[in-house]
Structure 1
Amino acid sequence: MGKNYRQGRLGEEIKKSISGYLLNGIKDPRLSTRIITISAVEVSSDGSYATVFFTPLTLSGEDSNEVSKEVLSAFNNAKGLFRTKISHDIKLRHAPELNFKLDSSMEYGRHIDEIIDEINKPER
C-alpha cells in the first residue's frame, strides 16, 4: 500500500493545485475563459513525471477538436507556471515534469452506450 498510496495522494494534491490555479491565477485567455475539468493526475512511481488528464467544455457551435488543440497548446505553454505553483503549494523539493493529455473517456463512454443501445434495440 505504501508506494501507490503516496502516488495517489500526490496526484490528488497536484490536481487540486492545478484546478485552483485555473480558477484564480492563470492569465492566459485560452485557459481562463474556458471551463476545464482536470479529471485525473497519474504520477510515475518515482514522482518525476505526472500526466494530467483534462476535458474542456465545448459550446454547441464550437468544434471540439479545435478547442482541445487550443487548450492543449495553452497548457503546454504554461507548463513552467504550473510546475512552479505545484512546488510552492505542495512544498516539493522536485516538482514532477508535467504532461498534459486530453481525457477522452467521456467520448468513449458515449460510444459504448451507443453500441449497447444498438445491440439492445428490438428487431422489427
Structure 2
Amino acid sequence: MDNKRISKISEEVRRCLSDIVQNRIKDPRIPDLTSISHVDVTRDLSFAKVYVSCLGSDKERESAVEGLESAKGFIKKELAKEVKLRIMPELIFIKDDSIERAMEMDKLIDEVNHGNKLS
C-alpha cells in the first residue's frame, strides 16, 4: 500500500483517537492532560501503535495506558464510527515519554548556556 495513504490514515486515526480520549472516555485513571502524540498504522492495516503522552509521574502514565487498554473495545467502536475502513486496526497503546525527555534536554541545554554566560 502507498506510504502516503498509510500516513494519511495514521494521522486521521490519531486525530479521531485524540477526540475520543479527550471527550468521550470517563475513566478516572486517564488524566485530563492525556494526548495521543503519534499513531503508526501497519501497511496491511491490521495493527496501530498508539503513542500516549501525559504529564505526571511514571505511575500516572502507566495508569493512563491501563485505562486506555481497558477501554479498548469502546475506543475501537467509536473509532469505527468516524474512520471508514474495511478493517479496523487492533490498537496497541504505548507510553510515550518523548515530551518529558525533550523538556529534560531543554533544561540541560539551558543550564549549559547559562553556565557559558557566567564565564
Settle same-fold status: TM greater than 0.5.
Answer: yes
Shift of 1:110: 2.9
Partner residue in 2 for 1:104: 97
In structure 2, C-alpha distance between the alignment counterparts of 1:37 and 1:117, rounded to whole Å: 26
What's the TM-score, normalizing by structure 1? Answer: 0.79
Q: Calculate the aligned-residue CA RMSD, in Å.
A: 2.1
Secondary structure at 2:29's aligned position in 1? helix
Aligned to 2:72: 79
Equivalent-residue separation in structure 2 for 1:114 and 1:13 (angstroms): 33
Q: Percent of aligned pairs with the same residue?
A: 33
Find the residue that maps to 2:2 and give its secondary structure.
helix
How many residue pairs were aligned? 117
Residue 39 (1) aligns with residue 32 (2)? no
Q: Does 1:4 align with 2:3?
A: yes
Equivalent residue, structure 1, for 2:51? 53
1:43–1:49 Cα contact (<8 Å) kept: yes
Q: Does the CA-based 8 Å contact 1:84-1:95 persist in structure 2?
A: no
How does the TM-score come out when normalised to structure 2?
A: 0.82
How much has 1:118 moved relative to structure 2? 5.5
Distance in 1 separating the partners of 2:32 and 2:27: 10
Q: Retained in 1: the 8 A contact 2:22–2:32?
A: no
CA distance in 1, matches of 2:24, 2:35: 16
Write the letter of the residue equivalent to 1:89: E
1:87–1:93 CA contact under 8 A, matched in 2: no
Per the TM alignment, residue 89 of structure 1 is displaced from its structure 2 partner at its CA by 0.9
